[in-house]
Amino acid sequence: MSAREACAAQYDYAGLVACRYGLIWVEYQPEDGCNRLVRLYRGQRQRLTPPGFSVRSRVHEYGGGAFCVAGDRILFVNDSDQQIWLQPLGDIDSTPIPAHCLRLTHSLDTRYGDLLYDGLRRRVIAVAEQHPDPTKSTGPEAHCREATADTKNTPKVENTLVAVSLQSARQHLLAAGNDFYSSPCLSPDGCELAWLAWDHPHQPWTRSRLFRARLGAEGQPLQPQALSVGGGPQSLFQPGFDASGALHVVSDCSGWWNLYRQDRAGHWHNIHPMAAEFGAAQWQLGLRTWARADNGDYYSALVDQGRGRLVQIRPGEPVKDLAPDYGLIRSVAVCQGRIYCIGQAGGSAVAVLELDHVGAVPRVLAGGAAADHPVSAPQPFSCAVAQDEQVHGFFYAAYPVTPAIQASPVTKPPLLILTHGGPTATSYPVYRAAVQYWCSHGFAVLDLNYRGSAGYGRAYRHRLCGSWGHTDVEDVAAAIAALSARGCIDPQRVFIRGNSAGGYTTLSALAGIDGLRAGASLYGVSDPLSLGKVTHKFESCYLDWLIGDPRKVPELYRARSPLANADRINAPVIFFQGLQDKVVLPDQTLRMSAALRARGIDTEVQLFEDEGHGFRQLDNQIQVLEQELAFYRRYL
């Protein structure tokens, strides 16, 4: 497989909505790096987004919830200006693409996301994130209220929940005072509003709160109530009302993200207790994993020991699997008796799926092309680590072996370990062209869900609390030892790569594990102390949880800093960095690579002028894979 083939196959879908005007989703195509809205109606497919627009929110830098349907119109956030635009849906047969767009908001210092249409009041409810002009900042930002306010030097960012009138474009404040907001939802009669909020130093996957309020005559929340699903701190996800007006929310108060329903007396009931995750780490807004049909059945995406499932739930009955061939399910929706979702399987590309009844074979509506090359199937991986703990992931065998990789048939393949970002993300057993690229060039691949990953319960997800840079490195070492003992790999030819937080784990592993042949850091963290001072608001206190308060435990930051421990890295490293990155600033990569070069370590740095945190342009993605493979081949 060529790098171009691998990167061109990395299209994606998100934000699926089913309504009377058809099925609408955001579609990312790697050839132009844009997000466009696409509609499917009565079997006909139509691009909605006019030329020159890309649908993408940048709230929290990671965005999400960038569009919603508003009657016979659609509201979306345009990437270039982060403003809300309004566009008629138009007739499915109309050509060319409807081009009559109107800008609804004109607050150029504000980003919008998590859009929700309030039809009763003809307005859009949204999370608003105000970014003042940094040149007008008069003092340090107090992002972290308790820990590191004196170390911040970025302008203050304010997050609120607002409503914008579709008629007058006037903006009204609905909720303020918390550091972050997400997931607004309306009751069926439009008289109640619920939402989530959380405050520093917490992240939404560690601790958040649920609010519910009746709306007054002007649409303002009246005496919002903070609701508690269970005792103690908990992470909440995707509140929503069903057709009867009952409020639901996903909570991990049991140790697992399960779905709860509130009765008329205010008590909460777990609709189906399971040691599985009905929620996800809320890195992006607008995530939806469950929906309830008019007959009372629930349809939910859940994660069971790292593998995704789409299930039907009737309280008191066993769950029924609806799409067993798919290892990841997203954006679940129910409309007119049909179930829709985005699914990813082990041998085909991401797809938009439809099921017309329980037991039906999912029908592919878009995407889902079968791989036209041999596929290395994901194999569940687990091994013991630390004291009576396990680390998980998915292993992919190498195919076919090439002379450049293997000199004789008895030689074991080299191993490439993938460390995902987040670090509270998850790798799933699905077809990923980039993984198959490495397998096709003779590498065995371990996609590692180190402790701290989502998908395995609250305790596993919280395992990195205070131990980032230690526990994840311990997991990498344990995985190498296990695969070597099983005879799956050549332990003398182990490579490691990671992006963002995974880049930090990669660099930490290179400093802490002897014998690694080479590594690749893609916009990875190398100096956590500096990161905490300059990164964006959403993650500005995350390091206090992952490592500790830098004022109280500065020695931990020195001990866990790849930059401070560059003298312990003896393996070659290649770095890839976007110069527009606002999460991990380019300075980190430049200083880290300079420290290695000063010691004579073989180091390469590839900088991309027009990329941010994550590479979106096809040519740049191709360049990364090609140069990374060439780099590794020098050390095989």
Can you give the pLDDT at residue 139?
35
The structure's pTM equals 0.91
Give the least confident one: 81-95, 237-251, 290-304, 566-580.
81-95
Can you give the pLDDT at residue 140?
31
Beta bridge partners of 577: 607
Residue 129 C-beta-side C-alpha neighbours within 13 Å: 25
Residue 153 pLDDT level (bands cut at 50, 70, 90) = very low
Residue 147 pLDDT level (bands cut at 50, 70, 90) = very low
Check whether 136 has a pLDDT greater than 70.
no
Three-state secondary-structure class, residue 326:
strand
Q: Tokens standing for 479?
A: 């995985």
Can you give the pLDDT at residue 400?
66
Alpha carbons 273 and 292: distance in angstroms, whole number:
17
Residue 66 C-beta-side C-alpha neighbours within 13 Å: 31
Check whether 149 has a pLDDT greater than 50.
no
Check whether 225 has a pLDDT greater than 80.
yes
Percent of the chain with pLDDT over 90: 76
Can you give the pLDDT at residue 405?
53
**For residue 127, which of 538, 583, 581 has the smallest C-alpha distance?**
538
Handedness of CA 148, 159, 259, 428 (dihedral sign): negative
Q: Tokens standing for 145?
A: 């209220």
Query: What pLDDT digit, counting tens, does each position of 369-416 carry?
Result: 888 888 899 999 999 998 889 999 999 999 865 555 554 455 899 999
Which residues, 6+ apart, have CB-to-CB distance to 562 below 8 Å? 504, 507, 508, 510, 511, 525, 526, 527, 569, 592
Alpha carbons 627 and 500: distance in angstroms, whole number:
19
CA distances from 620 to 331, 451, 584, 607 (A): 29, 31, 18, 10
Query: What pLDDT digit, counting tens, does each position of 512-559 carry?
Result: 999 999 999 999 999 998 887 888 899 989 999 999 998 899 899 999
**For residue 164, which of 118, 132, 130, 129 has the smallest C-alpha distance?**
118
Mean pLDDT of the chain: 90
Beta bridge partners of 211: 195, 226
Alpha carbons 504 and 286: distance in angstroms, whole number:
28
Residue 230 pLDDT level (bands cut at 50, 70, 90) = confident
Query: What pLDDT digit, counting tens, does each position of 170-205 carry?
Result: 999 999 999 999 999 999 999 999 999 999 999 999
Give the least confident one: 108-112, 505-509, 617-621.
617-621
* Residue 316 or residue 149, greater confidence: 316
**DSSP conformation letters of 27-77:** EEETTTTEEEEEEEETTEEEE-SPTT--B---TTTT-B--EEEETTEEEEE
Handedness of CA 271, 275, 277, 281 (dihedral sign): positive
Residue 151 pLDDT level (bands cut at 50, 70, 90) = very low
Can you give the pLDDT at residue 372?
81
Q: Is the Cβ–Cβ distance between 494 and 509 less than 8 Å?
A: no
What one-letter code names the amino acid at 570? N
Query: What pLDDT digit, counting tens, does each position of 467-510 carry?
Result: 999 999 999 999 999 999 999 999 999 999 999 999 999 999 99
Per 3-state DSSP, what percentage of the chain is helix, strand, and coil (rounded to 5)?
A: 15, 35, 50
Can you give the pLDDT at residue 145?
37
Alpha carbons 516 and 570: distance in angstroms, whole number:
9
Query: What pLDDT digit, counting tens, does each position of 211-220 carry?
Result: 999 999 999 9
Query: What pLDDT digit, counting tens, does each position of 25-81 carry?
Result: 999 988 888 899 999 988 889 999 888 899 999 999 999 999 999 998 999 999 999
Q: Tokens standing for 422?
A: 């987040």
Can you give the pLDDT at residue 155?
63
Domain span(s) for CATH 3.40.50.1820 in the chain: 379-633
Give the least confident one: 132-146, 202-216, 226-240, 384-398.
132-146
Alpha carbons 31 and 616: distance in angstroms, whole number:
9
Can you give the pLDDT at residue 347?
87
Check whether 602 has a pLDDT greater than 60.
yes
Can you give the pLDDT at residue 104?
95
Average pLDDT over residues 1-8: 87
Quick one: fold of 379-633? Rossmann fold (3.40.50)
Q: Is the Cβ–Cβ distance between 258 and 268 less than 8 Å?
A: no
CA distances from 113 to 15, 33, 58, 313, 376 (A): 12, 20, 8, 30, 38
Can you give the pLDDT at residue 617?
87
